[in-house]
Amino acid sequence: MNWAGPQRPATRMEAHYGDRVVRCFVDRPGSFHSLLAAAVAAHGEREALVCGGERLSWRELDDRVARVAGALAARGIGQGDRVALFLSNRPAFVIALFATQRLGAIAVPIGTREQRAGLAWILGHCAARVLFHDAELADRLPDSGELPNLQWRIACAAPSAAGEPRAAASSEAVRGGAAPAEAAPGRLEAGTESFDALEQAGDPLREAARVDEEDTAVILYTSGTTGRPKGAMLTHLGIVHSSLHFVHCMGLTHEDRSLLAVPASHVTGLIANVGSLVACGGALVMMPSFKADDFIALMAGERITHTLIVPAMYSLALLQPSFAEADLSAWRLGGFGGAPMPVATIDALAERLPGLTLVNAYGATETTSPTTMMPPGLTRQHADSVGVPMPCADVIVVDDDGRELPRGETGELWISGPMVVRGYWEDEAATAREFTGGWWHSGDLGSIDADGFVRIFDRKKDMLNRGGYKIFSVEVENLIVAMPGVVEAAVVGRPCPVLGERVHAFVYADDPAVTVDAIRRWCAERLADYKVPETVTLSAEPLPRNANGKLLKRVLREAVV
């Protein structure tokens, strides 16, 4: 199975980053900013960005980008400088992102759950000169003395609610250290400017700086489980290819409206929503954080056609009474990421929304988001797969010695293509360790079948070893989630002095019939005996997840030690 056909753009092999030879789209923009320029030129008066009470056309968005870029240029920010975005889902994120790109600078989005110590390390490691931040997060910011390179702090007020005028923080108040009303709990350091004041501070900059497509456009710090996070360098080449992958393989057009319900600071939100909607000229609707009822209301009210969220979000939406009542007839594409969705959820969505096509996509920060995608219409038929490689992506399965394995055998997935990052910022050791000849070592265990469909079984570090028997936690989790009444499940190893690990399951259910004994019987009827959870923790609340929707297995492991 592949993406060949009359709709597939032409590709060719090209040399990049010195020693990589990868398949690329022949016809492509030369930079991340070029995607915006093309959208403005083709769809200037169409709606581009919606958040709370703000609605911006492509031309209005471009004007605001120009003003912020001009103000930053007046402060000496230019090519290659790092500009940090400690911002939640709000218009300021998109405006500051593309203002940075217009200058040829490097954007460094940082998740708003990051705490003071981690934020200080990231800002220091990338030597950021500018920090855009939510005004209400001011208390988490490091002091000036900790970050000698950081010259400018820009506080962004929360977006207004629908129908309310946008509140502008006073430049004088913010410069003097007083917080605007929206940031009453925060502590703004003297010298901080407001975002609104910055927009008015310089002449608009209309012309974008010249960049090479192999230049770094964005640094995203990966959330490592041990040690410091690594700064993945996303290039213009990679961002353009990933954005075009979404557009071409999902069939996105300027008529689409996408709801950004995951953080824009994460690679999924940044590329699957922001990048792809800019690339097709559609409209991006932003919600500050995912709440199931708010999600449903926005989907209906804004006539959303496209989403990309995690499977648990679909499950939570299905549990809401409002889901059955809302008019969601415009919703045609439902992307989900990282793992197969339970068949029960697929079937429930198909029954409620027959016009919705579910599309699984698999990727990572290091692959600038998508590596594989399920061709539309095949999700139910291949529910255990994450799809086939994207047109410009290559995926192989290798053993522990780096030798490619035959189709159907299990090993580590290695990934190559123009969207694979060039390496990690100021970390040659990690780059050398995790890349071989341009192939990124994903750390995911999986296989590729005879038709090219990729399956993910587990992370290398998440695979359990029970007395020499290898157990893929994902296999057990997917089976438990298929049980009626179960919303989500996570399987971890319980330390055992005899066997090394025993299988422990955390289960969130909304049905009193789901008991520990019932779960174990369900598994025992369908799994080899050594894979059946020996102990189970039932939860009346959703399992812990990070801001990107991923299960926090580290937290769960600590709970069973």
Domains, the chain, ordered by start: 32-221 (3.40.50.12780), 463-560 (3.30.300.30)
User: Which amino acid, one-letter code, is at 356?
Assistant: L
Q: What pLDDT score was predicted for residue 331?
A: 98
- Minimal CA–CA distance to 547: which of 61, 98, 103, 113? 113
Contact 38, 30 (CB under 8 A): no
The amino acid sitting at 471 is I
Q: What pTM was computed for the model?
A: 0.86
Measure the CA–CA gap between 468 and 389, rounded to whole angstroms.
32
Helix (H, G, I), strand (E, B) or coil at 132: strand
Q: How far is CA 165 from CA 161, 162, 286, 408, in A?
A: 8, 8, 17, 58
Which residue reads 């995951």 in tokens? 262
Contact 91, 286 (CB under 8 A): yes
Crossing angle of helices 32-43 and 91-102, rounded to 10°: 110
Q: How many whole angstroms separate alpha carbon 87 and alpha carbon 325?
A: 33
Kind and range of the H or E element at 479? helix 473-481
Per the CB < 8 A criterion, the answer to whether 354 and 378 are in contact is no
Report the alpha-carbon distance of residue 20 to residue 415 in Å, rounded. Answer: 12
d(CA 431, CA 262): 28
**Amino acid identity for residue 518 in this structure:** A
Going residue by residue through the chain (561 aa), what tens digit of pLDDT does each one get? 667 665 679 999 999 999 899 999 999 999 999 999 999 999 999 999 999 989 999 999 999 999 999 999 999 999 999 999 999 999 999 999 999 999 999 999 999 988 888 899 999 999 999 999 999 999 999 998 899 999 999 999 988 776 454 444 333 333 333 333 333 445 567 679 999 999 998 799 999 999 999 999 999 998 654 468 899 999 999 999 999 999 999 999 999 999 999 999 999 999 999 999 999 999 999 999 899 999 999 999 999 999 999 887 898 899 999 999 999 999 999 999 865 677 888 999 999 999 999 999 999 999 999 999 999 889 989 988 999 999 999 999 999 999 999 999 999 999 999 999 999 999 999 999 999 999 999 999 999 999 999 999 877 777 888 877 778 888 899 899 999 999 999 999 999 887 888 999 999 998 999 999 999 999 999 988 889 999 999 998 999 987 656 788 888 988 987
Angle separating helix axes 32-43 and 236-250, nearest 10 degrees = 50
Q: Is 452 left (phi over 0), alpha (psi -120 to 50) or beta?
A: left
Distance (Å, rounded) from C-alpha 352 to C-alpha 430? Answer: 46
User: Cα(396)–Cα(372) distance, rounded to whole angstroms?
Assistant: 12
Pairing of the two strands 130-134 and 152-156? parallel
* 500-509 and 535-539 strand pairing: parallel
Phi and psi (nearest 5°) for 359?
-135, 115
Question: Position of tokens 């989900």?
Answer: 336
Instruction: Determine the pLDDT at residue 465.
Output: 83
CA contacts within 13 A on the Cβ side of 554: 6
Q: Which two tokens stand for residue 82?
A: 């790092």
- Within its chain, how far is the Cα of 531 from the centroid? 31
Instruction: Please say whether the beta carbons of 301 and 52 come within 8 A.
Output: no
Enter the DSSP assignment of 545.
B
Cα–Cα distance for residue pair 113/263, rounded to 1 Å: 10
- d(C-alpha 335, C-alpha 269), whole Å: 12
Tokens of 69: 């870029």
